[in-house]
Structure 1
């Protein structure tokens, strides 16, 4: 063994299992129950908060309920609270009072518990919290899950974290509110106003993105109307952002559309190149292939058009083949843009051009016929042709309009108002008969034959 190999140091040891577990846990989504603080420490600080051991501060919440706390913890956790504590000292200099009149008791307790333990659930169990509230003589609705608690308290906790400058709690609230399902049509505008007021840039971006994505539906909600009255500048800003995003999407679509048209143009140029000059592996029969010039063609889509053309020439089911249909459309498109179809080398160019001219004349006649039919239909107004023929018979009849005749006439109307004219068994069209005015012979002479009608 050489001296160089002896001087090589040994490799470092592999990571331990605990390190691998830490890496696996760091990739998971953090939740309210995940914490780096030991459970015993959390329980100890819970006892300090619940039993008010050495408490020198009183926090008054909504409904004149009070919580005991320690000024040392509050001052260390928040500089804003430290300033408030200095201003709220009583005359003896011992007790501090912080008023939170608009904050519910549950929110204030979760806020304090986060300052003490860095954990934002109410307590380790619902029974302990109910017992604690019962000792304070407060009526409380049951709630046990941290997800349910955060759903109710995330908004006010976000405000408290911003007011009292507690970044760790703000990050927890932003992460919770940014989860899928919390931002919806009903809450996105309220959450956007909250994020703008609390300087939560990431949450504001998510809310604005959702508003732009579903602008038409969100603009019809009641929250939009309330925002329009309370903050019209925000409404104008959202509309401006939506219009700018729409214009940007339209420009992108136009660029993509232009790119597609340019690719189609290059495919047409490659088709003309194959039939006029020929390429390395394909070309017209009367011209030799371009051998010895390399395999790279200057036309980008030459190989693709060649492959599609070979398939088109050998396919036996062109009518149902999608690839053959695209090739046929390429031939038709070339016939539309070709300037000199008489001397064009591409097959079917002249015949397709002639068929196109014939089709134009036919489409013009068909369009003219449709316009005349629509004009004739509109000239009748609200009455149809069959109903007009029925009214003509009723009011032109020479029969006496007695009471029985009146009911008889309009009785026929109710029976056959949707069956004019009627094809009878003797292959002729039957119209109404008015008494003795017409005889059977005259009726036979006046009745047109169905075969004559078809000839006409």
Structure 2
């Protein structure tokens, strides 16, 4: 072969010579001539002077572009290519496998495509013996149309939406049996988003467990727990109860457990609300005793009147409680008054949360601090737990608090 002259233009000026250069044809080659040419072949020696130096390697500080990061995981298949594989399947050109369906219909296929698309089919085809150059596979128990959609997906990953919805359960079984995860993912997504209802959820749940589809199983279980009363009256539940009583017991336990978690969650929410109300009460009490509010407050403050709005939500209730506590005659008697007891507990809770009792303007703050060592260990533990719960509720509420904490 002649070497290319560097000074010669790439495109020839003569149209005839350019046309002659594209005169490509296939000829039959003698194998002996090929072997002789290989035996006589010698590597061509090049002078190192003419070889340009390679560019320097990229340094660690070089930035990788967004396109370079996306290349390893990118995949763009033109529609023409998918259509080509779809046509290959539909026309069955040079097919060397025949798939026999339940009604003895035949779907032609190709050995290489099936082996690449499904490891299960590959193992089966490799062990089978061809007859007249054709291998045979029989898939019983599945309608012809469902197998047709399945094999078409193996070729081009294409499917018709109507056919997919019609045979989605059969296709889920086929994708699991023949290990086609891409088709299995499509079936699971369709069942989750468009197919599940109270009438078929039990059947789909059992099929999802058999086909090892955990995502679909969880979706079915959530629906069963959410609408158990309706689903337990369906025909699917009755059939499942007769055929698989162990599964029924498992579902009942799941429903009971979910209900218990719901009740516990609601209890914790209500508990947090109570602790948050206690914290708001502490804020309002400190606000009244330190700054004053409307018509109640310390003597050294000039109040602005009842028409002024207050930013503390618990202030109105604490104001009523303080006025009652100041004028009630039962608070010092045995048994006392329930409202006064509540006020007494709020004052003690404030003292346990206050970090400056010597300068605090809340009544009895320093008094309760001095009496703390006299409490029993049991009472002291209860108070410490209450204080920690109130502070935790405040921190959980975070930026939604109206006023920053004065006790942290």
Which of structures 1 and 2 has the bigger CA Rg?
1
**1:314 paired residue number:** 307
Query: Aligned pair 1:49/2:89, yes or no?
Result: yes
Pairing 1:370-409 to 2, within 5 Å after superposition: none
**1:150 paired residue number:** 164
Question: How many equivalent residue pairs?
Answer: 274
Query: Aligned pair 1:116/2:128, yes or no?
Result: no
Gap change, CA 1:339 and 1:209, over 3 Å in 2: farther
Preserved contact between residue 96 and residue 108 of structure 2 (Cα < 8 Å): yes
**2:205 paired residue number:** 192
Gap change, CA 1:211 and 1:89, over 3 Å in 2: same
Preserved contact between residue 268 and residue 334 of structure 1 (Cα < 8 Å): no
Query: Aligned pair 1:39/2:56, yes or no?
Result: no
Task: Pick from 202, 218, 229 the counterpart of residue 216 of structure 1.
Answer: 229
Q: Unaligned 5+ residue runs, structure 2?
A: 1-61, 341-408
Gap change, CA 1:148 and 1:259, over 3 Å in 2: same
CA distance in 1, matches of 2:271, 2:105: 68
**2:257 paired residue number:** 244
1:150-177 CA-partner distances (Å, limit 9, x unpaired): 1111111111111011112112222222
CA distance in 1, matches of 2:252, 2:319: 46
**1:175 paired residue number:** 189
TM-score of the aligned structures, taking structure 1 as reference length: 0.50
Deviation at 1:340, TM superposition (A): 8.7
Deviation at 1:205, TM superposition (A): 1.6
CA distance in 2, matches of 1:176, 1:315: 60
Preserved contact between residue 209 and residue 217 of structure 2 (Cα < 8 Å): yes
Deviation at 1:71, TM superposition (A): 1.8
CA distance in 1, matches of 2:156, 2:276: 64
Task: Pick from 341, 354, 363 the counterpart of residue 328 of structure 2.
Answer: 341
CA-based RMSD of the aligned residues comes to 4.3
Larger RCO (alpha carbons 8 Å, 6+ apart): 2
SS in 2 for 1:314: coil
Deviates further, 36-45 or 220-229: 36-45
CA distance in 2, matches of 1:315, 1:185: 56
Preserved contact between residue 49 and residue 69 of structure 1 (Cα < 8 Å): yes
Deviation at 1:47, TM superposition (A): 3.5
Deviation at 1:243, TM superposition (A): 1.4
TM-score of the aligned structures, taking structure 2 as reference length: 0.55
